């Protein structure tokens, strides 16, 4: 078993923490591009790592007392005495508006923040999980690849898919599964789907059924609760029984029923495990590869004055070549007002399309008249490393700086190239910015750590049947003093790298405590029973990971050596200059806008001490 798990270890560290908008239900900016990779030949493409930076769950998530199975008026094992906490009561009531209006994304974000303040509050946890479950149903039925799958598949293929998923859970999941609890959670997901308009429209449910379906969902849950399920085979049998019953009674496709139960079970395992649609799994591969086809813009998740707001344009992308920039507002796409779509995410899908096709946009830059822009969709790469430069300091010290956006396949190569350029230009100290870095490939975090460490433990991973320690080798490329910048959005692979540098005494961490992610996921491709055609994917938690000193990152993260939480700094003068490195490593001076980056300012101050201490050795 250890050998097989070791073979799986090229894994995804999951793009984690909070950003302004959504990508496939993850906390990532929604990216207007199409995946450039196709389904791989191997049925089991494993990408080892950590995933999905949503709220950490406790280890007993799969038990008969799972919070989603406890109604708000039922005593909760994790419930805070909110009667004595006026603020908690107020927070909960304020969030009820989102729940009542079906604003599931807003509710999920709201209660996630409330839980960070009151982590033991059972009502907040239930509301968070409830809104998240609704959002997952909503996202599935707005995913074209999922709807196409439902339309072209049959019951036999879906049952084979269910069996495949459950076998993987039984074999690889970090904890032994409780089939009873999983089935109960799958039934809750089905009940929620019966109240979601996207699900009802997809299944052509008559409007007159709408009022009765929530009660029917409750009856199904009570009916299913009579069974004691002790095996995977028994679970499959009961899933099919429910699917046939629903199809017979309310004429909803048994295939849709099976998929809702399946997705509900997988997504309830923990905060990071999830069923992936074909579109989602291909998008994940594109993020890992850093290669996309499309325009190359990030859009915000909320309307901005009846328009899509571009938050960022990828340098070198088709959008950048067409003159688009962050802050621009997209009013129309191919002659159609973006507000004709229900959500910015749905409008954003109109930006996607095959390579070589053109798209006509009506765009407005602040304080300017709207203009028409035609953009050709092309393939492009997203760099892992950017903003490479020397920082401005008052003396002759050469302080190098670069930012790592995510840990993808090209990260280590890009860092090696960057270090070589710094070495040619001279380097006294290096600052690496990991803020807002949501993670990526665990293996790349290990390899990157190896560039800075002579020896020592990098990370330890432990699963149900595996226990592995990654150690550094004597292949150091950079020996100058090192400072890392972290914030609450630095997650998973970023935490592994920062923890390895910190606990091995190789560098200083400045910023705020990181996100706090401590589990490893693999990505598994799911093919049809009678073909190699990719149907879907599975992101499954298989291991937990620990710092070099054996500390769990879950819910805690990396604690900075210099914590700047709650501190402030004056802006840098406008006359400040930064030296940017071009490809030939010849310094090039660029003006900097006024800077009020307290984290970076504090890091620059720390470099003086580090350089002085190294000189004294």
Angstrom distance (rounded) from CA 476 to CA 315: 31
The pLDDT of residue 12 is above 80: no
Q: Where do the H-state alpha helices sit in 383-426?
A: 411-425
Find the range with the poorest average confidence among 72-86, 291-305, 491-505.
72-86
pLDDT tens digit sequence for 225-273:
999 999 999 999 999 999 999 999 999 999 999 999 999 999 999 989 9
104 torsion bin: left (phi>0), alpha (psi -120 to 50), beta (else):
alpha
Angstrom distance (rounded) from CA 299 to CA 345: 8
47 within some domain: no
Residue 64, Cβ neighbours under 10 Å: how many? 10
Q: What is the pLDDT of residue 85?
A: 59
Q: Which of 357, 381, 405 is the last residue of a domain?
A: 381
pTM: 0.78
pLDDT tens digit sequence for 104-163:
988 998 998 888 888 888 888 899 999 999 999 999 998 889 999 999 999 999 999 999
Instruction: Using CB atoms within 10 Å of the CB of residue 470, give its burial: 0 to 12 exposed, 13 to 18 middle, 19+ buried.
Output: buried
189 secondary structure, DSSP code: H
Angstrom distance (rounded) from CA 438 to CA 150: 32
Q: Where are the beta strands (DSSP E) in 349-409?
A: 358-364, 371-376, 378-381, 385-391, 399-404
Instruction: Indicate if 440 and 542 belong to the same structural domain.
Output: yes
Instruction: Indicate if 608 and 566 belong to the same structural domain.
Output: yes
335 within some domain: yes
Residue 313's H or E segment, with its range, is: strand 308-313
Instruction: Indicate if 450 and 434 belong to the same structural domain.
Output: yes
Angstrom distance (rounded) from CA 28 to CA 57: 20
- Bridge-based pairing state of the strands 534-546 and 371-376: unpaired
Instruction: Indicate if 389 and 377 belong to the same structural domain.
Output: no
Instruction: Indicate if 242 and 207 belong to the same structural domain.
Output: yes
Which residues form the domain of 500? 385-616
Task: Find tokens 């470099």 and name the residue.
Answer: 607
CATH number of the CATH domain containing 83: 1.25.40
Number of domains in the chain: 4
58 within some domain: no
Q: What percentage of the chain has pLDDT greater than the value 70? A: 80
Residue 437, Cβ neighbours under 10 Å: how many? 31
Cβ-contact 414, 382 below 8 angstroms? no
12 within some domain: no
Instruction: Indicate if 148 and 200 belong to the same structural domain.
Output: yes
Structure tokens at 590: 């660029």
- Bridge-based pairing state of the strands 562-563 and 507-511: parallel
Q: Which of 381, 399, 422 is the last residue of a domain?
A: 381
Q: Which of 114, 517, 41, 56 is nearest to 270 (CA)?
A: 56
490 within some domain: yes
pLDDT tier, 592 (very low <50, low <70, confident <90, very high otherwise): very low
Q: Which of 334, 359, 381 is the last residue of a domain?
A: 381
Residue 460's H or E segment, with its range, is: strand 457-463
Instruction: Indicate if 315 and 435 belong to the same structural domain.
Output: no
The pLDDT of residue 42 is above 60: no
CA angle 547, 551, 554 (to 5 degrees): 95
194 within some domain: yes
- Bridge-based pairing state of the strands 457-463 and 467-471: antiparallel
Per-chain mean pLDDT for the chain: 81
Instruction: Indicate if 244 and 303 belong to the same structural domain.
Output: no
Q: Which of 301, 294, 299, 321 is nearest to 310 (CA)?
A: 299
Q: Dihedral (C-alpha) 59, 64, 68, 70: value to the nearest 10 degrees?
A: -130
β-strand partners of 379: 293
Find the range with the poorest average confidence among 85-99, 271-285, 403-417, 509-523.
85-99
Across 310-321, average pLDDT: 90
CATH number of the CATH domain containing 369: 2.30.42.10
Angstrom distance (rounded) from CA 196 to CA 214: 10
276 within some domain: no
Q: Which is more confidently placed, 501 or 536?
A: 501
Cβ-contact 285, 263 below 8 angstroms? no
Instruction: Indicate if 397 and 440 belong to the same structural domain.
Output: yes
CATH number of the CATH domain containing 476: 3.90.226.10
Angstrom distance (rounded) from CA 499 to CA 516: 11
Instruction: Indicate if 492 and 357 belong to the same structural domain.
Output: no
pLDDT tens digit sequence for 474-506:
777 888 999 999 999 999 999 999 999 999 999
Q: Dihedral (C-alpha) 18, 19, 22, 27: value to the nearest 10 degrees?
A: -20
Instruction: Indicate if 581 and 441 belong to the same structural domain.
Output: yes
Instruction: Indicate if 247 and 136 belong to the same structural domain.
Output: no
24 within some domain: no
Q: Where do the H-state alpha helices sit in 101-176?
A: 104-117, 122-140, 144-152, 155-172
Which of 500-535 are b and which e, b meaning 16 or more Cβ less than 10 Å from the residue's Cβ? bbbbbebbbbbbbbbbbbbbbbbbbbbbbeeeeebb
């Amino acid at each position: 078993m250890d050998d097989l798990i070791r073979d799986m270890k090229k894994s995804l560290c999951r793009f984690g923490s909070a950003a302004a908008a959504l990508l496939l239900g993850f906390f990532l900016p929604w990216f207007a591009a199409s995946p450039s990779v196709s389904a791989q030949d191997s049925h089991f493409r494993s990408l080892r790592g950590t995933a999905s930076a949503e709220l950490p769950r406790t280890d007993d998530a799969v038990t008969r007392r799972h919070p989603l199975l406890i109604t708000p008026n039922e005593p909760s094992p994790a419930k805070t005495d909110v009667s004595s906490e006026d603020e908690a009561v107020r927070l909960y009531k304020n969030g009820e508006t989102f729940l009542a209006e079906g604003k599931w994304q807003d509710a999920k974000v709201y209660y996630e923040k409330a839980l960070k303040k009151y982590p033991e509050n059972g009502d907040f946890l239930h509301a968070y999980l409830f809104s998240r479950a609704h959002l997952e149903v909503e996202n599935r039925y707005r995913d074209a690849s999922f709807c196409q799958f439902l339309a072209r598949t049959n019951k036999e293929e879906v049952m084979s898919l269910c069996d495949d998923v459950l076998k993987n859970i039984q074999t690889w999941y970090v904890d032994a599964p409780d089939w009873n609890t999983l089935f109960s959670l799958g039934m809750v997901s089905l009940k929620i789907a019966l109240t979601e308009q996207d699900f009802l429209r997809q299944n052509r449910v008559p409007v007159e059924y709408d009022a009765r379906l929530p009660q029917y969902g409750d009856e199904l849950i009570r009916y299913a609760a009579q069974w004691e399920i002790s095996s995977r085979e028994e679970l499959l049998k009961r899933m099919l029984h429910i699917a046939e019953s629903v199809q017979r009674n309310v004429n909803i496709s048994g295939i849709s029923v099976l998929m809702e139960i399946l997705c509900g079970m997988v997504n309830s395992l923990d905060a990071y495990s999830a069923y992936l649609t074909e579109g989602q799994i291909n998008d994940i591969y594109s993020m890992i590869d850093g290669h996309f086809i499309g325009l190359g813009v990030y859009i915000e998740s909320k309307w901005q004055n009846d328009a899509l707001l571009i938050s960022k344009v990828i340098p070198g992308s088709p959008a950048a070549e067409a003159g688009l920039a962050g802050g621009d507002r997209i009013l129309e796409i191919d002659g159609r007002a973006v507000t004709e779509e229900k959500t910015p995410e749905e409008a954003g899908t109109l930006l996607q399309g095959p390579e070589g096709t053109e798209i006509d946009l009506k765009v407005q830059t602040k304080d300017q008249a709207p203009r028409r822009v035609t953009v050709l969709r092309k393939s492009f790469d997203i760099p892992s490393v950017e903003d490479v430069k020397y920082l401005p300091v008052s003396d002759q010290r050469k302080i190098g700086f670069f930012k790592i956006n995510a840990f993808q396949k090209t990260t280590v190569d890009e860092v090696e190239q960057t270090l070589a350029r710094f070495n040619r230009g001279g380097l006294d100290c290096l600052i690496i910015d990991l803020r807002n870095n949501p993670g990526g490939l665990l293996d790349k975090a290990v390899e990157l750590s190896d560039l800075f460490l002579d020896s020592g433990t990098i990370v330890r991973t432990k699963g149900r049947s595996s226990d592995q320690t990654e150690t550094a080798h004597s292949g150091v490329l950079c020996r100058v003093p090192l400072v890392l910048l972290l914030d609450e959005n630095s997650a998973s692979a970023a935490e592994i790298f920062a923890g390895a540098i910190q606990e091995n005494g190789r560098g200083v961490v400045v910023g705020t405590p990181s996100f706090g992610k401590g589990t490893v996921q693999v990505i598994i491709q799911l093919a049809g029973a009678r073909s190699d055609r990719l149907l879907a994917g599975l992101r499954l938690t298989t291991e937990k990971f620990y710092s070099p000193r054996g500390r769990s990152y879950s819910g805690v993260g990396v604690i900075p050596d210099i914590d700047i939480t709650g501190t402030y700094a004056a802006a840098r003068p406008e006359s400040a200059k930064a030296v940017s490195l071009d490809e030939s490593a010849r310094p090039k001076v660029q003006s900097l806008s006024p800077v009020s980056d307290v984290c970076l300012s504090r890091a620059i101050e720390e470099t003086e001490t580090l350089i002085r201490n190294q000189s004294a050795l």
